[in-house]
Amino acid sequence: MQATPVYNSPNESPSHPSYGRHSRASSVSRFSGILRGGSGRKGGGDLKAVNAKGWPECSVIEEEGSYEGLSGGDSGLSGRCKLALAFVSFLLLFTVVCLIVWGAARPYEPDVVVKSIAMDNFYAGEGTDHSGVPTKMVTLNCSLNMVVYNPASMFGIHVSSGPVRLLYSEIAIGVGQVHKYYQPSKSHRLVSAVIHGEKVPLYGAGGGLLLSGNDVTVPLTVDFELVSRGYVIGKLVRVTHKVHVTCRIAVDAKRARTRIPKKACAVYKA
C-alpha cells in the first residue's frame, strides 16, 4: 500500500485523481513549463514577483495611475467655469454700482421758476374762421422767461420742453417751445420760449374779451412741461425728470412786460 503524496500548492496537485508515480512527474513538468513560458516573453521586462505560495502579485500602483489619467481631463472645464463665473460676478457688481449711482442721482430734479412774460403784440378783433363762421379772433407774439437751476453736482442735464401753451378760457391762443440745450452742474440759466398765435378763433369764449379802454387786463394761463435728462455714466446710467408748470396770470395787453409772482405758478412732477 502506497503513501498519499503531500502538495504544497494548487499547481502541484493533479487535475484528476491519480495515485501513480507518473502522475506526480507530469504535474511537476507542467508547473516548470509554465514558469519557463513566462520567462521567455518578449520585451525582456522584469518578471512579476511570486509569493511564497506561487501566486503572482497584483500591481496596485498601475491601477492608481490609470485613475489619475482619467481625472486629469477635467482641468480645462474647470478653468472655463471659473472664467464664466468671474465674468458673471463682474456684471452683477457693475449692475449694483450703476443702481447705486442712479439712486444717488435720482433726487436731483431741476428747479423751474417762471419770471415774466413779455408781450410784443396782442390783438383781438372780429373775423371769420376757415369755414366762414364769424367770431372774435386773437393774434399775439410774446416770450415767456424762466430760470432753470440744475442742483446736481455730478452731472449736467439736457433740457427740452413740450409745447408751451398760452390759454384763454381753455383755448390755446398761442404755442411755443423751449429749444433743447445743455446745462452744466450747479448752474442757473435764463431760458425763453417764444409764443406765437395767428388769427386764433375764440368762438363763444371771446364774448368777454375787451381790449378797449385804459386798463386792459386779460386772464391767461401758461401751461408747459419741461424735460431734463442727465447722463451720469455715459448712456448706461441716465436720470430723466419731467416737471409740469401751470401759471395763472393777468396780463396787461398794453404793457410790454408783466412780472409773474412765484405763488401764481404750480410746479409738480409729471
253 confidence band (pLDDT: 50, 70, 90) = confident
What is residue 47's predicted lDDT score, i.e. its pLDDT?
47
Looking at the structure, do residues 140 and 100 belong to the same domain, yes or no?
no
In a domain, 51, yes or no: no
Domain count, the chain: 3
The residue ranges of DSSP E strands in the chain, in sequence order, are 111-128, 134-150, 157-161, 164-168, 171-177, 181-183, 187-201, 217-233, 237-252, 257-259, 265-269
In a domain, 64, yes or no: no
Residue 110, helix vs strand vs coil: coil
Looking at the structure, do residues 29 and 93 belong to the same domain, yes or no?
no
pLDDT, tens digit, 9 for 90 and up, residues 68-109: 555 555 555 588 888 888 888 888 998 888 888 778 777 888
* Residue 8 pLDDT greater than 80, yes or no: no
Cα 103 to Cα 143: distance, rounded to the nearest angstrom: 36
Looking at the structure, do residues 174 and 97 belong to the same domain, yes or no?
no
pLDDT, tens digit, 9 for 90 and up, residues 188-234: 999 999 999 999 998 877 766 766 555 678 899 999 999 999 888 87
Residue 224, helix vs strand vs coil: strand
Range of 84's domain?
Answer: 73-104
In a domain, 44, yes or no: no
Among the ranges given (3-7, 106-110, 132-136, 182-186), the one the predictor scored with the smallest mean pLDDT = 3-7
What is residue 30's predicted lDDT score, i.e. its pLDDT?
52
